[in-house]
Structure 1
Amino acid sequence: MSYRLIQMLTVILPTILIGGFEFFRHDFLLGYLSMQTGNVFITILTFVLSLLFSSWVFHIIRIKNDQLAEEQAKRAVYEERERLARELHDGIAQSLFFLNVKLKQGDVAAASRAVSTIDHHVRQAIFNLRSTPEEDGSLNSRVIKWISEWSSFSGIDAKVDFEIPNDLFTIKEEVQIFAIVQEAFANIRKHSGATQAHIDFKGTQEQWQLRIWDNGCGFDITLLSERKYGISMMRERARQVGAGFQLSKSELGGTKIIVTKEMQK
């Protein structure tokens, strides 16, 4: 049912029902109902009709909103898949170009490293695509499962501390947060040289905070490329859920990412 039809029914139905009753009362019921009794009756009738009609209208609106939220969530997942596909394409294209150059130069060792890099790109992309945010279950269970698989895949020990209510985020927000986690842990695997990674995710209805850090080599902020490390993407995803994004060195010597949001009261 379209919003235009709902709008028309909202105007027409109460007018016809209540106005029709008033005409019928004045023409046929004045001898049976006093004005006072009639006024009480029309008041009750108006209340019942308004309650029934508003419940029906809001039920339809709720269904429409749920459908819209589902479509937005699917779109966010498709966008994430497209990003992973572009990342896979770019990474493999660069590695293949490097492989071709080294083979022409006869540098077998460098060519072997390029093949290994391509293999890592493909494995990481397949791993990410297999763990999409639209799977059943809460955000907590999906992230914990994904990090457990990531730890087995990367060989890096991962510590997880989650205290997040299951209904704290919308589906679209979960997609963005899940993508931040994936990007951060992909950076740890590819660039940090870490042996340990930590994720701490705690929150309430008033505020929440996501922290990810490692014991790797850290970074030089003056030489850091936001594009290379996907930092601009994580910062943008944090902005889309209304959260702040901070990047710093961790107490363990590696990198720390903090995403924080305070709910508006």
Structure 2
Amino acid sequence: EAMSDGLILNDMETGLVLEANPAAAAMHGYGHQKFIGLHPTTFTHPDSQRLFPGYIQTAQSGGIFQAEAVHLRRDGTPFHVEVRGVAFIYQQRPCLLSVIRDVSARVQNEQQLAQQMAARIREQASQATLQERQRLAQNLHDAVNQSLFSASLIAEVLPRLWARDPEEAQQSLEDLRRLTRGAMAEMRGLLAELHPLVLTDSDLGDLLRQLGDALTGRTNIPVEVNLMGKGSLPTDVQVAFYRVCQEALNNIAKHAWADRVEIDLRYDTNAAELHIGDNGRGFDPTHVPAGHYGLSMMHERAKTIGAELTVASQPGQGAEIVIRWNNHLKEELSMNGGRQEP
């Protein structure tokens, strides 16, 4: 009688409660005598009554039944229980002997923990969204605003400059065209970041030209884009090619000190190659300074699509990044455990 767990003895045939300890009656809100003779459907939530057939079948086969269920107190309040039961002979009749443990506190704690985790995930997602917005806003400020500000200054002085020196004014017009074209390319790039379908639904050659125009607008480095052959790539391959080119051009803008960049995209049957080269100061690929994560990111991009990425550079000799993809190479890399040359 001092047990906190409830003990219930049910008739195997009728299901009626034949005997119970006071703890079982009390946890369901009944006096002991009132509890005797009840059918389990009286104190079992409808959603948990589906467990009855499995309980009986397990007990009849000599097994131990164990499950979590929802029971009902006399006033209709639901509470969570853990049920363990076996077949039992009582007064020469087959019965079900069940141990009932109230686990409401544990379930409530688990639910609270799940709610806290969900709230934390939502907060982290919101923070990530905010950081992404801040990054895009910073890109907008650093690239587009700078280009538009420079363009507005040129446009303001252009009439006076034209009257004084038409040849110099013509050069300023070219600068104005470069700046506005670069700003438009930057805006398209930001649009692609906000709407990823732009990267998959647009022509890859057009996307690479936009990246080149954006670099020229920011740095005044001319970028030549060459397309050889025609074709289309799987979505993940196109996105990876775009990201590799984007990262390579960012590295050129930051570190290369180049005055010429060339991008070559070559299509073949079920294959493609992308070359990004510059005539900058170059570097030793085996000794990349700490904090320069661009190359490792490009290698990871290539690995995800089963492509091969190579880096050719020497100090003072510029650099070339090449990513090669084809179905056969993807299969070979998969069979090789994804290993590829650095």
User: So what's the TM-score if we normalise by structure 1?
Assistant: 0.49
Higher share of residues assigned strand? 2
Query: Could you say which structure has the larger radius of gyration?
Result: 2
User: So what's the TM-score if we normalise by structure 2?
Assistant: 0.39
